[in-house]
Amino acid sequence: MKEIKLEQAKEILKAFGLPKQQYNDRSAWVFLALANVKPKDDWSVATAPLLPTVDIMDFIRSEYGKDYKPNSRETIRRQTLHQFDQAQIVDRNRDNPARATNSKDNNYSLNQPIIDILHAYPDGNWKELVDKFLMNVPTLQAMYQRTINREKIPVHLPDGSEIKLSPGAHNQLHADIIHEFCPRFVGEAGKVLYIGDTASSRNEGGKHMVLEVDYLESLNVPPMSHDKLPDIVVYDEKRHWLFLIEAVTSHGPVSPKRWLELEEALKDCSVGRVYVTAFPHRTEFRKNAADIAWETEVWIAENPDHMIHFNGDRFLGPHDTTKE
């Protein structure tokens, strides 16, 4: 019966549009405690007692045998109860809404629309009541998604289009490369052929925000190499140079090993290749300087007008490796 009640609680929480982290086992146990529903109870007996976090933990322990240690109280409060509050599933301090947030008497309780839904679960019109509830209260998942969208980094491409990258230092450097590096060192003839969104890393399936497959293949960049490309690839249509730009905030620069891998992947590429490592600031550059390959370039976003050339015979441009 305990497992049945746990799965039912998860089903209800999922119907409320909560993110996955808030319809896991922990949140389901908490929800059962808030409803005062024991393993053999019908949902029709659900009530809404005023429960401090410690009382919630005591109920879970005594009724469901799940023993949360005292130091788990903050996890339950911050990773379940806060989200229930945001989703308007619970009321905090219904008996005294003005109570200080750090008071030892803080408590949580289910509100009446939620109790009505539980009384109709599982055989009544509970889904209709959920729909009615969600008409008045946006799902927490939708609210979180809007927050993420507001925080996304806009990137204005040379052709006038715009993409939005996930928030983070790495993607901010991507935006700096497009907005600051390209106008200075690629010029108006630059065409963006590839940008990755590093919300997850390349090896973990990070998204391609720009991927011009046909154009890359016209330059003899084979499809099998797309996942091996650096973070940003820009083609200078005037000089016929392919800029391969690695953005470094935590992962490494264009090292000798990385250079050899790219040269092998792009051995049939029909245009000149310019390898660039971009850093957000000098501190990051200094940490990686010893690993940067010769005959590559370095650009630092905090000093956008300058470049560092890791070679002795020339400045910015492709190098003919066939003579070596």
Beta carbons of 190 and 182 less than 8 angstroms apart: yes
Backbone angles phi and psi of 195, in degrees to 5: -140, 130
Q: What is the CA radius of gyration of the chain?
A: 28
So where are the chain's domains? 2-147, 153-323
CA atoms within 13 A on the CB side of 283: 2
Q: Could you give the percent of the chain with pLDDT greater than 90?
A: 49
- Using a 10 angstrom Cβ sphere, with 0-12 exposed, 13-18 middle and 19 or more buried, the burial of residue 224 is exposed
Q: What digits encode the pLDDT tens for the residues 211-254?
A: 888 999 999 998 765 567 888 999 999 999 999 999 998 678 99
Backbone angles phi and psi of 261, in degrees to 5: -60, -45
**Alpha-carbon gap, residue 168 to 152, rounded angstroms:** 9
Q: What digits encode the pLDDT tens for the residues 10-45?
A: 999 999 888 777 789 999 999 999 999 999 999 999
pLDDT for 323 equals 52
- Is it the case that residue 201 has pLDDT exceeding 60? no
Residue 151 CA to chain centroid, in angstroms?
11
Q: What digits encode the pLDDT tens for the residues 46-60?
A: 999 999 999 999 999
- Identify the CATH class of 2-147: mainly alpha
Token pair of 132 as six digits = 């009615």
- Is it the case that residue 206 has pLDDT exceeding 50? no
pLDDT band of 1, cuts 50, 70, 90: confident
Where helices occur in 237-315 by DSSP H, the ranges are 256-265, 282-288
CA atoms within 13 A on the CB side of 183: 12
- Is it the case that residue 2 has pLDDT exceeding 70? yes
- Is it the case that residue 142 has pLDDT exceeding 70? no
User: According to the per-residue pLDDT averaged within each range, which of 41-45, 64-68, 290-294 is highest?
Assistant: 41-45
Lowest mean pLDDT among 41-50, 202-211, 279-288: 202-211
Question: What's the whole-number average pLDDT of the chain?
Answer: 85
pLDDT for 53 equals 94
Token pair of 37 as six digits = 């529903």
Q: Could you give the percent of the chain with pLDDT greater than 70?
A: 87
Q: What is the mean pLDDT of residues 149-155?
A: 71
pLDDT for 242 equals 95
pLDDT band of 205, cuts 50, 70, 90: very low
pTM: 0.52
**Alpha-carbon gap, residue 269 to 287, rounded angstroms:** 32
- Identify the CATH class of 153-323: alpha beta
pLDDT for 151 equals 65
pLDDT band of 200, cuts 50, 70, 90: very low
- Is it the case that residue 6 has pLDDT exceeding 90? yes
297's CB contacts (< 8 A; 6+ apart) are: 274, 275, 276, 277, 307, 308, 309, 310, 316
